[in-house]
Amino acid sequence: EPEVTQTPSHQVTQMGQEVILRCVPISNHLYFYWYRQILGQKVEFLVSFYNNEISEKSEIFDDQFSVERPDGSNFTLKIRSTKLEDSAMYFCASKDRYTDTQYFGPGTRLTVL
């Protein structure tokens, strides 16, 4: 069964550094999402992406965040200058054009020191 994959599984970085989290959505999917989950808390919507542009973003998704689909398979989340409070699990999700079902990847645990 096709699945969403994410790399790396764990990223440790120093405060102020840039990080790029990578996702490979399911191949025929057209809608892409990033979510974040701070340890023990709920899943929070960050951004949705369709047709090579952002469809919607939350108030969390400020100027420090950006997303890109650099080629036909990858979908990336960049955090320009990480803060301690960016430490969280980051989940990528994708869906096709026919259903509402979003398929989540296993997540990247980001630790900012």
Partner 1 sequence: GENVEQHPSTLSVQEGDSAVIKCTYSDSASNYFPWYKQELGKGPQLIIDIRSNVGEKKDQRIAVTLNKTAKHFSLHITETQPEDSAVYFCAASGGFKTIFGAGTRLFVKA
Contact residues for partner 1 (CB under 8 A)? 4, 31, 33, 35, 41-45, 48, 50, 55-56, 58-59, 91, 100-107
- Shortest Å distance, C-beta 15 to partner 1: 25
Return d(Cα 11, Cα 42) in angstroms, integer: 20
CA angle 94-10-70, nearest 5°?
Answer: 45
- Shortest Å distance, C-beta 75 to partner 1: 15
58 or 76, CB closer to partner 1?
A: 58
Are the C-beta atoms of residues 19 and 109 closer than 8 Å to each other?
A: no
Are the C-beta atoms of residues 110 and 22 closer than 8 Å to each other?
A: no
- Shortest Å distance, C-beta 57 to partner 1: 9
Cα 39 to Cα 8, 19, 34, 56, distances in angstroms: 18, 19, 16, 24
49 or 86, CB closer to partner 1?
A: 49
| Residues 98, 52, 71, 80, CA torsion sign | negative
49 or 112, CB closer to partner 1?
A: 49
- Shortest Å distance, C-beta 65 to partner 1: 15
50 or 64, CB closer to partner 1?
A: 50
